[in-house]
Amino acid sequence: MKKKLRNKNVLIAFVITAVLFLFSAIGATRAALLVSGIYDSRFEMYDIGVTLNENGKALSWRTYNKSKRDWDVNAETPLFQDLKEIRYGAVYPETLSVRNSGQIDEYVRVTVYKYWLDKDGNKSMDMDPDLISLTLLTENNGWIIDETYTTRERTVLYYTQVLKGSQSVKNGETTPDFASEMMLDPDIKNYVKQQKQTVDEEKGYTVITTEYVYDGCTFCIDVQVDAIQTHNAEDAAMSAWGRKISVSDDGILSLEEE
């Protein structure tokens, strides 16, 4: 009996999480790689691949290596590798882009998350993600923000043009930068939790101790990159992203109203 092949779609995604300790040296980092086994029967899984670039260098990737007959995966390198310390109010370069490190052409989505961890390492819903600034670039460069699914904590971006793979362009095509710099808002120092005054009568002076809301807390920026094949892109986007898109005759992706 012949088995009927179902048309399915490619999804490759990974998440890079950068965790830095406020006002001090870079602290612990976390990274995870998420991969879906959904694929179109016309293509092999190894036909698709994606790489996240930071400041002009490949940071993390998932690409099939035919010579090894296995996946090349690097999801352990955190963001902000060049920073030794970070201070509020200072601006740091953070250029981010995506390269098609696979063979076939693809469409790319990026999701950026900003949030805080409290002193115990738990995600805080009370701390302000707007105090974490990552400047995003979406002016006449092919990147657009999906306002429907964007919140204060999450920003969703799509690259509207086809990102060509190595079958079309040597070493695969790279998007324009979608981010340029990062900063912690200097207003952080104005969030005072409490102040205590202690009078030393013997020495004749008063000690004022100030405890700040964000003392000992950790800010986080997560960047997730997803790619789908251009073949049957509308169906692939709905299957992989749950998002209605349309593709013009010249291959430009646009978002449908929901």
Q: What is the pLDDT of residues 197-252, one digit of tens each?
A: 666 667 767 767 677 788 888 888 888 888 888 888 998 899 888 999 999 999 99
Position 109 scores a pLDDT of 93
Q: How far apart are CA 169 and CA 34, in angstroms?
A: 26
In angstroms, the Cα distances linking 24 to 9, 20, 68, 84, 117 are 44, 8, 41, 8, 15
> Which residues, in sequence order, are CB contacts of 182 under 8 Å at separation 6+?
80, 91, 92, 94, 132, 133, 134, 135, 221
Q: How far apart are CA 115 and CA 163, in angstroms?
A: 30
Residue length of the chain: 258
Q: How far apart are CA 90 and CA 34, in angstroms?
A: 33
Beta bridge partners of 154: 113
Q: How far apart are CA 143 and CA 252, in angstroms?
A: 11
Tokens linked to 212: 């700040």
Nearest to 155 by CA among 175, 139, 180, 135: 135
Position 197 scores a pLDDT of 66
Q: How far apart are CA 72 and CA 74, in angstroms?
A: 7
Looking at per-residue pLDDT, the higher value among 5 and 255 belongs to: 255
**pLDDT tens string 86-131:** 888 889 999 999 999 988 899 999 999 999 988 888 898 889 999 9
Q: How far apart are CA 253 and CA 245, in angstroms?
A: 7
Position 256 scores a pLDDT of 95
